[in-house]
Amino acid sequence: MKKLFRAIALVLTFVMLGILLGGCATTPTVDKIKEDGKLVMLTNAAFPPYEYTSGGEVAGIDVDIAKEIAADLGVKLEIQDMPFEGIINAIKSGKGSFGAAGMSITEDRKKNVDFSIEYAQSKLFVLVTDTETEIKTPDDLNDMTIGVQTGTTSDTYATDVEGAQISRYGNFLDAAQALKSGKVRAVVVDELTSNEILAANPELVRLDEPLADEGYAICVQKGNTTLLDAINATLTRLIESGKIQEFMDNNVTGLAESSEEPVG
């Protein structure tokens, strides 16, 4: 009997070890990243000015930051564009090195990933059409149809609005189109992206009163401290040297530019 227990204990030990080692194998530590020679950024590139496509390339504030992290590590940067709501799970399972997607720090997300230091502050705002007469403050959203991007903090916020029906889109630009065409009465969206949407769509307006204050950070797999430390070191340097502000200034016209009519 004793022997049997010992045998079972031994088998269990090996199984546990296997799981642990297997877990380690998928963790993109700094050593692993240097070995591979590349840093893989997961994002959802329809969130100007943080990420957008320009001339077939992904650009934006987060891309500028990621390039600096890659340079500091001496590796090249690869960007993978994917649905926003899949980023946390992908990072959790070791796909990609980090998530950089204008991602707000939330308690819920902290259960699944580790966040870097905060590199930007934001607020959620409500957009409506300029013919809207009933929605004047966020309190008027009750019982309305609200457009959001799936899996974002806007989604969480809107889902809590009493009686509201939520229409979920793959990105905020599609949600803004739905607002223009009357499919939804309002869109809840992050501050800088709302600026971009307003610049490109003169028939949309923003309510003065913001809904919530948020902070953006980069996420890594839980416990990946070597990478988190490297990211935080680069972010600290970029924040202190005013570089992040420079990236913000350089990327503000992403959407407005790409939707502009060609001159001449």
Q: Would you say 50 or 119 has its CB closer to ligand ARG?
A: 50
> Taking the complex as a whole, how short is the minimal distance between the CB of residue 122 and ligand ARG, in angstroms?
6
* Minimum distance of ligand ARG from residue 54's CB (angstroms): 15
Q: Which is nearer to ligand ARG, 157 or 185 (CB)?
A: 157
Three-state DSSP state, 148: strand
Question: Contact residues for ligand ARG (CB under 6 A)?
Answer: 43-44, 46-47, 50-51, 84, 101-104, 149, 152-153, 171, 190
Q: Taking Cα atoms as reference points, which of 129, 131, 89 lies closest to residue 109?
A: 89
Q: Which residue, 157 or 230, is less far from ligand ARG as judged by CB?
A: 157
Nearer to ligand ARG, 58 or 128 (CB): 58
Sort 117 into a burial class: Cβ within 10 Å, 0-12 / 13-18 / 19+. Answer: middle
* Nearest to ligand ARG of 216, 224 (CB atom): 216
We find the least distance from the C-beta atom of residue 51 to ligand ARG, in angstroms, to be 5
Peptide bond into 138 cis (omega under 30): no
Q: Which residue has the tokens 């990327």?
A: 251
Chain CA centroid to CA 245, Å: 18
Rounded to the nearest whole angstrom, what is the least distance from the CB of residue 155 to ligand ARG in the complex?
7
CA separation for the pair 142, 165 (Å, rounded): 9
In angstroms, what is the minimal distance from the CB of 16 to ligand ARG?
35
Tokens (6 digits) for 66: 């990621």
CA distance 179 to 184: 5
> Tokens 């809590």 — which residue?
160
Kindly state the smallest distance separating residue 118's Cβ from ligand ARG, in Å.
12
Residue 46 Cα distances to 51, 59, 84, 201, angstroms: 6, 10, 9, 16
Edge-first strand listing for the sheet containing 219-221: 76-81, 38-43, 98-99, 219-221, 113-115
- Residue 101 or 141 having the CB closest to ligand ARG: 101
CB of 109 to ligand ARG, least distance (A): 8
Sign of CA dihedral 244, 247, 253, 255: negative
Cβ nearer to ligand ARG, comparing 41 with 230: 41
DSSP state for residue 242 in the 8-state scheme: T
